[in-house]
Amino acid sequence: MTSSRYSATLIGAGSVGLVLAASLAKAGWDVSIVGARMPLDKISLQDNGVSSEYSVKTFDVNQSFTQPRVLIIAVKSQQVETISHWLPAFDSKSTTVLVAQNGVDQQQTFRNYFSNSPIIPAVIYFNAQRDKPGSVNLRRIGHEDVCLPQQDVTRLLASAFSTGGLRVLLTEDIQTYLWLKLLANISVNPLTALTGQPTGIMHRLDIADSARALMFEALPVARAEGAKITRQDVEAIMKWISTIPPESRSSMLQDKQAMAPLEYQALTGAVVRAGARQSIPTPLNKLILSLLAGSEAELLRD
């Protein structure tokens, strides 16, 4: 592939977005960023002790621009409303929207903003922390970095991400993989945020038992929603969690420490809402949801 053929635009220059954009830039794509708080002309990526820099451009959607082949949306669910006014400018059959966002409702959420563009959810496995604007530290977890649904455009993206140093899994059953990641997220994110501790807290037996209980409760909900998940998958998730560097901070903990709104409605809230749709009780996850809501209210009040 050549850089003159493919271009990508990123909305959401946080840790996940910067890693994805850097990967495409490394693969030779032309990468631009919309909405960065300060203009960026490069992304600095630290990966396993190796530092690299990749050139990018920053632009304003009010200016004239060429539609990108791929629009990457890497904002959290609670931030969608703040970027919604930019989205109509990218609604085109020639632009694929890649949503790198936690949860299972990405396509339904963004169909409200895109009537022409194909919408593709991405499951993100890597842990990344942005230490300053345009600079991100990548920590790899498990055997894959990104999971995408098997489609023509995602094969193009998978090739580019692979060339750019990311490990990509393509699947015919993205619903199952979205729910598998959601199960991990309804345990690690809330428990680290509520305890105020990095991911190493998950090694405590009592915290690990709580994580299992939350996931086992969500298991019949996931199955009712079409995911092919078993109890063995929960144990596999627990094993995956144990490989996360203990000093890593979950995204929800990072938001809490930054005094920012929390992503609980797209995670625990998604389980509770799906449980209600399927008439499956989710009392433990409802409890966590109320604790997170209360924690956020206190956080933002201060």
In-domain check, residue 1: no
In-domain check, residue 257: yes
In-domain check, residue 141: yes
Which of residues 172, 200, 234 is at a domain's end?
Answer: 172
- Give percent of the chain above pLDDT 90: 86
- Its pTM stands at 0.92
pLDDT digits (tens, 9 = 90+) for 202-212: 999 999 999 99
pLDDT above 70 (res 302): no
pLDDT value at residue 301: 80
pLDDT band at 2 (very low <50, low <70, confident <90, very high): very low
3-state SS of the chain: helix, strand, coil percent to 5? 45, 20, 35
Share the mean pLDDT of the chain: 94
- 301 compared with 50, residue with greater pLDDT: 50
pLDDT digits (tens, 9 = 90+) for 151-194: 988 999 999 999 999 999 999 999 999 999 999 999 999 999 99
Which of residues 147, 172, 197 is at a domain's end?
Answer: 172
pLDDT digits (tens, 9 = 90+) for 259-283: 999 999 999 999 999 999 999 999 9
In-domain check, residue 203: yes
pLDDT digits (tens, 9 = 90+) for 3-27: 457 999 999 999 999 999 999 999 9
118: containing domain = 7-172
In-domain check, residue 231: yes
CA-to-CA distance for 1 and 102, rounded, in angstroms?
30
Residues 133 and 213 in one domain: no
CA distances from 147 to 43, 117, 292 (A): 23, 20, 28
Question: Whats the size of the chain, residue-wise?
Answer: 302
pLDDT value at residue 299: 81
Distance of CA 290 to the CA centre of its chain: 23
pLDDT digits (tens, 9 = 90+) for 124-160: 999 898 989 999 999 998 899 999 999 988 999 999 9
Residues 160 and 26 in one domain: yes
Residues 204 and 131 in one domain: no
In-domain check, residue 217: yes
Q: What is the CATH number of the domain that holds 192?
A: 1.10.1040.10
In-domain check, residue 2: no
Identify the bridge partners of residue 51 per DSSP, sorted by sequence position.
46
Q: Is the distance from CB of 259 to CB of 299 less than 8 angstroms?
A: yes
Please state the rounded mean pLDDT for residues 203-222: 98
Among 291, 287, 286, 296, residue whose Cα is nearest residue 255 = 296
Q: Per residue in 25-52, is it b (16+ CB within 10 Å) or e — as a string? A: bbbbbbbbbbbbeeebeebbbbbeeeee
Please count the structural domains in the chain.
Answer: 2
Which of residues 172, 192, 222 is at a domain's end?
Answer: 172
Residues 149 and 265 in one domain: no
CA-to-CA distance for 266 and 194, rounded, in angstroms?
17
